[in-house]
Amino acid sequence: MTKGTTFHAFIPIRFEPGNTSVMISQLLFGEEFTLREKSGNWLSISLDFDGTEGWVAKEFVELRELENEKKMGLSGPVCLASLPSSTILDLTMGQQRIIPAGAVWNSERNNSMLWYGHNFELLSSEGFIKPGANTNPREVGKRIVSLPHIPGGRSGFGFDGPGLVQLICRMMGKNIPRYCQQQAELGSTINFMTEVKEGDLAFFDNEESEIIHVGIILDDGNILHSGTSVSIDLLDHHGIYSNEQKKYTHKLRVIKRI
């Protein structure tokens, strides 16, 4: 079995092999995938974190065989980048690398990491957090407010709705699927707005009753979501009221607690 990662900030995961195919998700620095098949200069992968399947360009990834895992001493994602971008050093190549929010730091050794044969070092541990229930979604959200909405995005360079919620949940120690419809199948339903808690997920539908958007509920009747950009807006039983547009932009369908 062949595993892989990328040393780039992120690379697109595409629906089909080819640069013109739609980006359905992203492979972030420090994440691993399992190789499924090859087609020319393209690799079909399954992202280990959430099972997303798609195609990545071969030239942007690093590969290894599974039997090397014990030698690398992998222990899973230890910290996640939470600032829109952070700078690390690639000591092997003698250069700096920019990594985005959502990037994974796979090392217990404080500021140093050996990853796919390269030695990396943090310039600062500020902006790297250990996933867990103590993570405050509002504090993380304030760091990335105003980042653009990008279809397929799940990094500090831009998010779609489910990509943003997936990252915040990951920082809170909860691994959830990539897409809105999958996320909506999780947890228990909250029937009344008076019963919601910070960290609950709110889902929104269109006129055809298809779930098309998701956000994570904060305290004081607010919601963190990625509409036209990452923003903190008001939430009530009707839906999301945009502070910027001064109108309701999304119709509430259901609230779930994971």
pLDDT, position 73: 43
Q: Is 137-257 the same fold as 2-69?
A: no
**Would you place residue 77 in the very low, low, confident or very high pLDDT band (cuts 50, 70, 90)?**
low
pLDDT, position 79: 94
Is the pLDDT assigned to residue 210 strictly greater than 60?
A: yes
pLDDT, position 74: 43
pLDDT digits (tens, 9 = 90+) for 119-178: 999 999 899 999 999 999 999 999 999 999 999 999 999 999 999 999 999 999 999 999
Hey, where are the domains in the chain?
2-69, 76-129, 137-257
pLDDT, position 215: 98
Nearest to 79 by CA among 112, 33, 116, 45: 112
pLDDT, position 68: 55
What string of H, E and C letters represents the secondary structure of the chain? CEEEECCCCEEEEECCCCCCCCEEEEEECCCCEEEEEEECCEEEEEECCCCCEEEEEHHHCEEEEHHHHHHHCCCCCCEEECCCEEEEEECCCCEEEEEECCCEECCCCCCEEEECCEEEEECCCCCEECCCCCCCHHHHHHHHCCCEECCCCEECCEECHHHHHHHHHHHCCCCCCCCHHHHHCCCEEECCHHHCCCCCEEEEECCCCCEEEEEEECCCCEEEEECCEEEEEEECCCEEEECCCCEEEEEEEEEEEC
**Would you place residue 69 in the very low, low, confident or very high pLDDT band (cuts 50, 70, 90)?**
low
What distance, in Å, lies between the first and last C-alpha atoms of the chain? 33
Q: What is the pTM of this model?
A: 0.94
**Would you place residue 71 in the very low, low, confident or very high pLDDT band (cuts 50, 70, 90)?**
very low
73 or 15, greater pLDDT: 15
Name which CATH class applies to 2-69. Answer: mainly beta
In CATH, which of 3.90.1720.10, 3.40.640.10, 3.20.20.370, 2.60.450.10 is domain 137-257?
A: 3.90.1720.10
Could you identify the residue written with the tokens 């502070």?
243
13 pairs with which residues across the strands? 25
Q: With pLDDT > 90 as the criterion, what percentage of the chain qualifies?
A: 90
Helix axes 137-144, 161-171, angle to 10 degrees: 130
The most confident of the ranges 41-45, 78-82, 217-221 is 41-45
**Mean pLDDT in the chain?**
94
Span 64-79, average pLDDT:
64
pLDDT digits (tens, 9 = 90+) for 79-93: 999 999 999 999 999
Residue 215 contacts residue 221 (beta carbons within 8 Å): no
